[in-house]
Every structure is written in C-alpha cells, then in structure tokens.
Amino acid sequence: MPDTLRPARIGWCLYDWANSAFATVILAAVLPVYFVSLVPESGAILTLGSWQHQLPASALWGYAVSGSMLIVAITAPWLGTLADTRGNHKQLLIGFCLCGSFATSLLYLLSQGDYLAAIGLFIISNIGFSSGNIFYNSYLTVLARPGQTDRLSAQGFATGYIGGGVMLLLVFVLIQFSEQFGFSDRGAATRFGFLLTGIWWLLFALPAFLFLPNPTPRGPTEQGPFRTYLRSCRDIIRYRELSLFLLAFLFYNDGIQTVIAVSAIFAREELGLSQGSILGCFLMIQFIAMPGALLFGKLADHFGSKRSIMISLVLFTLVCGYASLMQSQLEFWILGAVIALVLGGSQAISRSLFASMVPSDRRAEFFGFYAISSRFAAIFGPLTFALVIDWTGSARGAILVLTIFFVIGGTLLLRVDVAKGRRIATKEHPKKQHQTANGPTC
C-alpha cells in the first residue's frame, strides 16, 4: 500500500526547517545582539505618564519575551479548541505563519534608537511563531506511523536545526563580509538578514501548506468559547499523568527556553564577546544539535522517553551552574557544545511523550495546553532573569537561578506514570499498550 502521508510528513518537517530560521536569527543569536546596539549605553527608558523607569537592554529583552509569551499562553487553549471543532488546523497555521514572517521582515526598516519599534515587531513575530506551533505540533500523532512518534518528532527537530543553521550561516556571512556584499556597514547587513529570515520562513512553509491534511472536525459545541475553555481546563486535569507532565514540562522547559533566549545577550554584555564569536558559537550549536536530536530519538527507543529527558535535565543543570562562573570565550563554546547535544533531544522527546498521552480526538485542544505550558515557561524564566538583573545588576546570578527550574521540573517528571497515561489516552488493555508504545516508559 502506498504511503499517502509521506508528502505530508516531508512538508511537516520542512515547516520546522522554515520557522527555525526565526528561532536562530531572531529569537536566539542575531536580533538580541543587534537590539543591544539600538539601546543607549545608559539603558532603555520606559515612560508611562509621569512614571519613568530606566533598565538595561538585557532586562528589556527578557520582559519582551515574557510579554509575548503571556499573550500566547492566554489564547492557546481557545485556539486549539477552535481548530479541533472546525478542523481548520492548516488555515490557522498559515495565518500565524504569515503574521510572524511579515513582522520579521519589517525588522529590516529599523534604524538607530528604534528599540521600542524593535520590541513591538519582535512581540508580533514571536506570537506568530509560537501560536503557529500549536497547530504544527498537533499534527505529530496524525502523521507518525504506529510506534514511531518519538522518531518523527526527532526528525522534525533535526530538520529544523539544519534549516536554522543554514539560515544563520547565511546571515553570519552577510554580516562578516558586509562590505564585499555592498552594504554600508554591518548593521545594514544585519537588517537585510532579518528580511531574508522572514522570506525564508514563508518560502519553506509552502510544502506544509500544500500537503498537510485538515483533521476531521469534532463539530461545534453548544457552549461558548469561554465555557469551552473552562471545560477543557477541567477535562485535562482529569488526565492526571498528562497534567503532571505538563507541570513538569512548564518548569524544565522554562529553563531551556530562557537559556536559548538570553545566552547571546549574556555573552555580549557579561563576557564581552564579539558578534562574530557569538554567531559562530550558535552555528556550531545548530549543526551539533541535529545529530543530538536524532541520537535522543534512538535513546528514547531503547531506554524510554522519560529517562532520556532526565539525562538532559541533569546536563542543563550543570551547564547553568558552570555558566555563572565562566570567564572566557573558550568556556562559552564548550558549554554551547554540551547544550547542543541535549537541546534538540530534550525538546523532541518531550513533544512526542506528551503526544503519546493525548486522546486522539482532542489533539489541537490539548496541544493548546502544551503550548500554554511551553509559553508560560517562556514567561517566567526570562521574567526571572530580567528581574534578577534589574534588582541586582548581575547576569551571572540570573543564570544561576535558572537551575531551580530544572530541579523542580525533573522532580515532577519522576512522578509521571507514562504507561498509565498512555493507557488512559488510548483506552487499551495494558498489554496491548505495551506493544504499541514508543519504547520503554521510563
């Protein structure tokens, strides 16, 4: 029998290739460093009526990440329920992709001192990126072959790391050789890189738009959106293992997302590294993370999803502890290599583990809560980082505080009974579930 879903799986992986350009260039490596150059050395000034507050660029960046993720967290369950009831997952994915890629391209128009405009466009593009991922992630269990959820999730992340790495490499070359490419300075080349990133995101998303199916709609409910949202909250709490995993994921992903979001600005302000050195390190991370994601997919097949995630959390804890003490560029690169090995795997296996415990007829709805957990993670971590810097002036202390999120998340994850969660989701006999699950359960 021909594999009719193969084009859809390829398009699904290519969407990760497409939007990972945003993750590397805008969220992680280039825009944070460029943003620092837009803010005066004395700091950013926020004014509201007679109230005025001055804060460092790194703190303002942390608040911006938190604010955009708060919006996504509030709207995610409603969007997921809307997609499940109407079956318009693909249309919503297209809409948020267009919103995010367009706002990203508009960063090309920034000029010196436009740090508030930069923050505004970043918030819009980050909302498009994160909200689109609600519907992208919900396709995982639709497209994966039986018993291959971990593997397809890892393949998607691996494809994304290659795509994000290639885009980051292009931007890196543009910046380093800006004069040879006819740009007036590196700032102009950087802004052109933002335009290319928006175009890249939309261009490589087209196969997903073409080949992804629209799942069968669950049908409208008699309740309004707010009542449906409350019902969804009550329903997911009844899935104890799923809810416990979401809580664990909220904490440990908090640490992961914050490390990604603040590492470039930390390296620039605390270690004094050049833009070229920072971009070079992120390039290394992208290309090491690709085999790392595939490696964790195989580890999950043999040792179980939960145990594989726990290994990554131990390493992240050690990384944050050492990062608070590091002094040199070499140390930054070494820690970057360690992060690269576990970054993709921890995210890919977390996604597939959650998917294996989700009822098949409520994928987008419950992935909306996955997005809540993921986005609240991107609220509290950067917010904590920003507050510690704002209060103490120490980015090193802020990095050290992040270890708390990994410890709490790992402790909660140990309490999740994965086998029970899968049985409840599928309503199958335990023996049958053991035969179909994605490898051992712990």
pLDDT at 442: 39
pLDDT at 399: 79
pLDDT at 104 over 80: yes
pLDDT at 79: 81
Q: Output 269 or 123, whichever has higher pLDDT.
A: 123
Picking from 334, 318, 314, the residue whose alpha carbon sits closest to that of residue 413 is: 314
In the predicted model, what is the mean pLDDT of residues 127-143?
Answer: 87
Picking from 76, 63, 71, 118, the residue whose alpha carbon sits closest to that of residue 261 is: 63
pLDDT at 19: 94
Residue 13 near residue 156, CB atoms below 8 Å: yes
pLDDT at 227 over 70: no
Q: Give the angle 210-167-275 at the CA atoms, nearest 5°.
A: 155
pLDDT at 438 over 50: no
pLDDT at 53 over 50: yes
Q: Which two tokens stand for residue 125?
A: 């593009």
Residue 217 near residue 91, CB atoms below 8 Å: no
pLDDT in tens, 374-403: 656 566 777 777 788 777 777 777 778 888
> In whole angstroms, what is the distance from residue 80 CA to residue 62 CA?
27
Which range (87-101, 136-150, 169-183, 196-210) has the least confidence?
Answer: 136-150
pLDDT at 258: 80
In the predicted model, what is the mean pLDDT of residues 71-83?
Answer: 78
Which range (62-71, 152-161, 184-193, 214-223) has the least confidence?
Answer: 214-223
Q: Give the pLDDT band of residue 82 (cuts 50, 70, 90).
A: confident
Q: Give the pLDDT band of residue 436 (cuts 50, 70, 90).
A: very low
In the predicted model, what is the mean pLDDT of residues 2-15?
Answer: 86
Q: Give the pLDDT band of residue 440 (cuts 50, 70, 90).
A: very low
Q: Output 98 or 42, whichever has higher pLDDT.
A: 98
Q: Give the pLDDT band of residue 101 (cuts 50, 70, 90).
A: very high
Q: Give the angle 59-60-65 at the CA atoms, nearest 5°.
A: 100
pLDDT at 194: 97
Q: Output 401 or 124, whichever has higher pLDDT.
A: 124
Residue 60 near residue 39, CB atoms below 8 Å: yes
First to last CA, the chain: 34
Catalogue all structural domains in the chain, each as residue range(s) with its CATH number.
Answer: 6-41+54-213+237-436 (1.20.1250.20)
pLDDT at 250: 83
Residue 416 near residue 306, CB atoms below 8 Å: yes
pLDDT in tens, 304-328: 888 889 988 998 888 888 888 888 8
Mean pLDDT, the chain, whole residue set: 81
pLDDT in tens, 174-215: 998 999 999 999 999 999 999 999 999 999 999 999 999 877
In the predicted model, what is the mean pLDDT of residues 151-179?
Answer: 87
> What percentage of the chain exceeds 90 in pLDDT?
26
CA–chain centroid gap for 254, Å, is 10
In the predicted model, what is the mean pLDDT of residues 257-278?
Answer: 78
Q: Tell me the three-class secondary structure of 255-308, residue by residue.
A: HHHHHHHHHHHHHHHCCCCCHHHHHHHHHHHHHHHHHHHHHHHHHHHHHCHHHH
Residue 201 near residue 160, CB atoms below 8 Å: no
Q: What is the pTM of this model?
A: 0.71
In the predicted model, what is the mean pLDDT of residues 206-232?
Answer: 71
pLDDT at 409 over 80: yes
Residue keyed to tokens 């040199």: 328
pLDDT in tens, 232-254: 667 777 788 888 998 898 888 88
Which range (214-223, 389-398, 409-418) has the least confidence?
Answer: 214-223
pLDDT at 368: 63
Q: Output 96 or 56, whichever has higher pLDDT.
A: 96
pLDDT at 117: 93
pLDDT at 229 over 70: no
Residue 65 near residue 382, CB atoms below 8 Å: yes
In the predicted model, what is the mean pLDDT of residues 221-239?
Answer: 64
pLDDT at 435 over 50: no
pLDDT at 226 over 70: no
Q: How far are the Cα atoms of 140, 155, 362, 364 from residue 355, in angstroms, in the given order? A: 7, 15, 11, 10
pLDDT at 428: 38
pLDDT at 377: 55
